[in-house]
Amino acid sequence: GQGEGQGQGSSGSSSKQGNASQSNQSENNDAELFEIYKQQQQLRQDLEDRLSKLGLEGLGGDLIKKMQTIEQQLLDKGFNQRTLEKMLSLQYELLKLKEADLKQGQESRRESISNSKTYTNTLRLSADEIKKYFNTTEILNKESLPLRQEYKEKVQSYFKKSND
Three-state SS letters, 32-75: HHHHHHHHHHHHHHHHHHHHHHHCCCCCCHHHHHHHHHHHHHHH
Between CA 135 and CA 105 the distance in angstroms is 53
pTM of the model: 0.42
pLDDT, tens digit (0-9, with 9 covering 90-100), for 108-159: 555 677 788 887 877 788 888 888 877 776 665 666 667 788 888 888 899 8
CA end-to-end span of the chain = 136
